[in-house]
A and B are shown apart, each in its own frame.
Chain A
Amino acid sequence: MYDVVIVGAGIIGTFIARELSRYDLKILLLDKENDVSNGTTKANTAIIHAGFDAPYNSKMGYFNVRGNPMFDKICHELDVPFKRVGSLVLAFDEEDLRTLEKLYENGSKSGVTQMEILDGEEAQQIEANISKKVKGALYAKTAGIIGPWELAIALAENAMENGVDLRLNTEVMDVTRLNDGYSIVTNKGNIMSKILINCAGVHADKLNNMVSNNRFKIIPKKGQYFLLDKTVGNLVNKIIFQCPTDRGKGIVVTPTVHGNLIIGPDSEIIEEKEDTATESHRLKFIRQVAEKSVPNIPFDHVITTFAGVRAEPDTGDFIIEEAEDSPGFINVAGIKSPGLSASPAIAEYVVNLVKEIYGSIKEKNFNPFRKRVIRFAKLSDEEKDELIKKDHRYGNIICRCETITEGEIIDAIHRKAGATTVDGVKRRARPGSGRCQGGFCLPRVMELLAREKNKNMEEILKDGLGSYILTGRTK
């Protein structure tokens, strides 16, 4: 019997697991995928919003503004890349300028600090490559860029270090309410828990409806993106927004913590909850809108296009509460944008809900720190030499574009919540994310995964469960 079972190991589920691991509780984190962070968390704009956009009287606004200042500490503790680069909302006409005023006012009411409305010239001065047609901008210094999947992976790893169990490839099929908790039927057997927390992302409505009669609906909304090469990553140095419309916050142009440039997303309601295909007409639209903000984007430097699906609740706001008719069942659902920005504050709030349910919970020894996989390429010459002499596997380069060694990949595989797939290794140690996109290192990474996990080469997956790479031996 678990004290808490958390369904869904995205940013919200991993964050809650990590914060609850401070206490004397038996906790299980479940995910139907073969890696943590494999849903919305791995495909989004990767930014931490200042918080002026979401209505001040909404949960989105409340948790965003409360969550934003919490990132410095968490990213320091977990060694996750995060930079407060600031953001600009650009205005192109009188109406936009009025929108800036409204955003400023809404932000002030929410408690956002360090905002400033700039005129066009001032905006150009701090961001040289934006359009000359910009009439003004809302500058928010507290906005930042982050590695979202790095954070979720680090949270999961740290939670496990502090005693949380993680079960992947485990899908919830049904839930039965017991006297003192829930029986969770999964494809891997039954699990009992006193408290059940629903962090199932785009599938949160399905899980809720297995338990509670208070129904809600999650509408999957797809957003598509361009990712550009590092050589053009410094085209802008802040997060560049346009004025929000009823169709979303508009297309963003932003650097990433890895030094690339990200452009997107659009917003489109879709049928299939896991449809992450990009489409040329959508990409064309994104490109046109982005060029309004930054006219000279070198689209010939696109490395890849991708899409993420956001969980839009039909209630219009985050759903973060214990279901009225189901004690001990906590929904953390409809965590659309600014969900990532809100995640630390949401986790804090959910911990308090759990405390309330139990009356009180005891704190235990907790190690808040975790170090990421060494980045060999960033070490000094002496450090490189020392590391190789200590562990010769750091002298074996696997990914030549990003200079990533066997040692780094082995570390990514063997850690808690470690990589089991080629893309899982890529998310943790970045081989294959360079210029050749894995052309040279794919066979080597597969070989290491097979060797370290004691598997056949044919069993190695690219990413999701059906993503086999090889179809058998040659004749």
Chain B
Amino acid sequence: MNYDLVVIGGGPAGLAAAISARRKGIKDILIIERDRELGGILNQCIHNGFGLHLFKKELTGPEYAKCFIDEVRELNIDYKLNTFVLDIDDKKELSVINSRDGFFKIQAKAIILAMGCRERPRGAINIPGSRPSGIFTAGTAQRLINMEGYMVGKKAVILGSGDIGLIMARRLTLEGAKVEAVAEIMPYPNGLNRNIVQCLEDFNIPLLLEHTVIEIKGKDRLEGVILAKVDENRSVIRGTEKYIECDTLILSVGLIPENELSKSAGIEIDPLTFGPIVDESLETSIKGIFACGNVLHVHDLVDNVTLEAYKAGEKAAEYIKKTSKERVLKTKKVKLYPGNGIRYVLPQYVNIDDLDNNLKLFFRVNDIYRDIEILIESNGSLIKKIKKNQVFPSQMESITLDKKLLTEIDQEILINVK
């Protein structure tokens, strides 16, 4: 089986990437989705707030997904559901299975990685105690409640203030459960401010900053947790422990891009984003393999995922249309580094000669900062400076650099908070 473009993942990133490649004239596209339907995690996000930036209206997750699923169908883009990619190699050959076709291989001219991310489980944060039922990651609880139609408990504590955890605090409350508290180990919330207001404050759910769960109680079903305050080193402050009776613990302690397939192909991974290292075209360390969405880095808003995926689709289309002679090695490759106060920056490389016009950088800060300047520097000299009133780790920030500013640059680019 041969395709010009194979998109792995039929969530918001994969759908938008396929649509954009088709608009750029690529006819032969296949989307591979492992779940039963297109749309990805959006299908279980029945709350609204999607599309505010892109469509200027508030859609639910399934509504947002539908816009793109409809377009994929109108454009007659092939997709396979319940289909699983076992392996990709560096020659862009995919090993795939599903119930109908068995095991088969697909040779692609280009691949777009759009596998999304997964949640960090309990083990990753290592809470001692027993191992009863009643402990769910926020996304799993969301799936059970919103898609399967079952409640997961009556009295809940939520650990971590990631957006899905906040959304689930409200969802559980609306379903009649009591949410005792949301505990966040850091001194600032991990989710968006609008979710703190709409999901916690509006429902009088306390947000306990610098608090964490230090013990799980209950033999068969969860019976309670011990919460404690932590100091600035995230160590438990003795004497602040308190027992909270609950039958449910929801974990919202972070998302990790799911890159096992990327690794199987030998793609280089950034230890800061846990996603592939890409250049301004979202092309990974293997030519013709692109990445977008949460597999690349965890996004705050799906609107940003869509925009990124459009770009990946466009660039993959350009790649496919070029003859192998035109796919010459790019020149003047400059690395971008996160400096002071910056958690990561994307892309990790830029090929300055290949820039269409300007370069949009995405980054996240590692703490809350107020009245700061973001400095873009190279070789000791300042390229650009931007003032910001406030930046949050929960929000993705971006800066656009004009191509003109970059033409002279041939050393690493550093982004700092000052």
B-binding residues in A (CB < 8 A):
274, 276-280, 283, 302-306, 381-382, 384-386, 388-389, 392-397, 400-401, 403, 435-440, 442-443, 447, 457-458, 461-475
Cβ-defined contact, B150 with A437, below 8 A = no
Q: Are B121 and A469 in contact (CB under 8 A)?
A: no
Query: Judging by beta carbons under 8 Å apart, are B99 and A393 in contact?
Result: yes
Q: Find chain A residues with CB under 8 A from B137 CB.
A: 439
Contact A403 B128 (CB under 8 A): no
Docked-complex contact A468 and B221, CB < 8 angstroms? yes
Q: Do the beta carbons of B100 and A395 come within 8 Å of each other?
A: yes
Q: In whole angstroms, how far apart are the Cα atoms of A223 and B334 in the complex?
A: 53
Q: Which of B95, B128, B145 is in CB contact (< 8 Å) with A474?
A: B145
Select from chain A the residue with minimum beta-carbon distance to B132: A467
Minimum Cβ distance to chain B for residue A309 (Å): 12
Determine the residue in chain B with the shortest Cβ distance to A283: B128
Q: List residues of chain B with CB within 8 A of the CB of A465.
A: 220
Given contacts A277-B217, A278-B129, 7 further A-B contacts (CB under 8 A): A280-B214, A435-B121, A436-B121, A463-B220, A467-B221, A474-B145, A474-B151
Nearest A residue to B82 by beta-carbon distance? A396
Quick check: is B24 within 8 A (CB to CB) of the other chain? no
Q: Does B369 contact A (CB under 8 A)?
A: no
A439 & B214 in contact (Cβ 8 Å cutoff): no
| B128–A436 touching, CB < 8 Å | no
Chain A: which residue is nearest B220 at the CB level?
A466
Residues of B near A437 (CB, < 8 A) are 121-123
Q: Which of B97, B151, B175 contacts A395 (CB 8 A)?
A: B97
- When the two chains form their complex, are residues B150 and A396 in contact, meaning their CB atoms are under 8 A apart? no
Residues of B close to A382: CB separation below 8 A: 103
Asked, given contacts A304-B122, A395-B97, A439-B118, whether A463 binds B102 with beta carbons under 8 Å apart, the answer is: no
Number of interface residues of B (CB under 8 A): 53
Complex: A395 Cα to B118 Cα, angstroms: 22
* Complex CA–CA separation, A465 to B129 (angstroms): 19
- Known A385-B103, A389-B102, A467-B133; judge A440-B221 contact (CB<8 A): no
Set of chain A residues within 8 Å of B121, measured between Cβ atoms: 435-439
Complex A-B: 30 CB contacts under 8 Å: A278-B128, A279-B215, A280-B128, A280-B214, A280-B215, A384-B97, A385-B102, A385-B104, A388-B102, A395-B98, A395-B101, A396-B98, A397-B34, A437-B122, A437-B123, A438-B121, A443-B144, A457-B150, A462-B133, A462-B220, A463-B220, A466-B219, A469-B133, A469-B134, A469-B152, A470-B151, A473-B151, A474-B150, A474-B175, A475-B176
The interface bits of chain B over 173-194 (1 if a CB of A lies within 8 angstroms of the residue's CB, else 0) are 0111000000000000000000
Q: Per-residue CB proximity of B86-114 to A under 8 Å, as 1/0?
A: 10000000010111111110000000000
Which A residues are CB-close (under 8 A) to B219?
A: 274, 276, 464, 466
Task: Tell me the bound Cα distance from A443 to B84 in angstroms.
Answer: 18
Task: Report Cα–Cα, A276/B129, bound state, in Å.
Answer: 8
B341 interface residue, CB < 8 Å from A? no
**Out of B103, B140, B214, which one reaches A384, CB within 8 Å?**
B103
Query: Which residues of the other chain, B, contact A475 by a CB distance below 8 angstroms?
Result: 174-176
Query: Whose C-beta in chain A lies nearest to the C-beta of B35?
Result: A440
Given contacts A277-B128, A277-B130, A395-B97, whether A400 and B84 have CB atoms under 8 Å apart is yes
Q: Is the CB of B128 within 8 A of A392?
A: no
The minimal Cβ–Cβ distance linking A306 to chain B, given in whole angstroms, is 7
CB neighbours (8 Å) of B100 from chain A are 392, 395
Q: Give the distance in Å from the alpha carbon of A463 to the alpha carbon of B130 in the complex.
A: 13
Q: Which 10 A-B pairs have the closest CB atoms?
A: A466-B220, A395-B99, A437-B121, A462-B133, A385-B103, A392-B99, A467-B133, A467-B220, A388-B102, A277-B130
In the assembled complex, which residues on chain B have CB atoms less than 8 Å from the CB atom of A283?
128
Cβ of B318 < 8 Å from any Cβ of A?
A: no
Query: Are the CB atoms of B130 and A276 closer together than 8 Å?
Result: yes
In the bound assembly, the distance between CA atoms of A403 and B97 in angstroms comes to: 11
Q: Is the CB of A443 within 8 A of B152?
A: no
Q: CB distance B103 to A471 under 8 Å?
A: no
Contact, CB under 8 Å: B150 / A470: yes
Q: Roughly how many angstroms separate A386 CA and B103 CA in the complex, as a whole number?
A: 8
* Contact, CB under 8 Å: A305 / B119: no
Q: Which residues of A contact B215 (CB under 8 A)?
A: 277, 279-280
Q: Is the CB of B123 within 8 A of A303?
A: yes
User: How far apart sit A29 and B391, CA to CA, in the bound complex (Å)?
Assistant: 64
Among B148, B153, B174, contact of A457 (Cβ-Cβ < 8 Å): B148
* Cβ–Cβ < 8 Å partners of A474 in chain B: 145, 149-151, 175
B126 interface residue, CB < 8 Å from A? yes
Q: Does B321 reach chain A (CB closer than 8 Å)?
A: no
Q: Which residue of A lies closest to B84 (CB)?
A: A397
Contact between chains at A305 and B126 (CB < 8 Å): yes
Measured in the bound complex, the distance between the Cα atoms of B115 and A400 in whole Å is: 12
Q: A463: which B residues are within 8 A, CB to CB? A: 133, 220
Complex Cα spacing A467 to B135, Å: 11
Interface 0/1 of B382-395, CB less than 8 Å to A: 00000000000000
Q: Contact check, B220 vs A464: say whether CB atoms are below 8 A apart.
A: yes
Q: Report chain B residues within 8 Å CB of A471.
A: 150-154, 247
Could you say which residues of chain A place their CB within 8 Å of the CB of B220?
462-467
Quick check: is B66 within 8 A (CB to CB) of the other chain? no
Question: Which of B99, B100, B215 counts the most A-chain CB atoms under 10 A from its CB?
Answer: B99
Q: Chain A's nearest CB lies how many Å from the CB of B318? A: 31
A-side contacts of B34, CB under 8 Å:
397, 400
B403 part of interface (Cβ distance < 8 Å): no
Of all chain A residues, which has the CB nearest B139? Answer: A439
Q: Considering only CB atoms, which chain A residue lies closest to B216 in the complex?
A: A277
Which of the listed residues A385, A396, A400, A436 has the most CB atoms from chain B within 10 Å of its own CB?
A: A436
Contacts of B144 in A (CB 8 A): 443, 470
Contact A436 B103 (CB under 8 A): no
Report the nearest B residue to A388, measured CB to CB.
B102
A32 to chain B, nearest CB (A): 13
Whether, in the assembled complex, B131 has its beta carbon less than 8 Å from a beta carbon of chain A, the answer is: yes
Contacts of A277 in B (CB 8 A): 128-130, 215-217
Q: Is B143 an interface residue (CB 8 A)?
A: yes
Cβ < 8 Å to A, chain B residues 4-49: 34
Instruction: Please measure, in the bound complex, the distance between the C-alpha atom of A230 and the C-alpha atom of B131, giving whole angstroms.
Output: 21
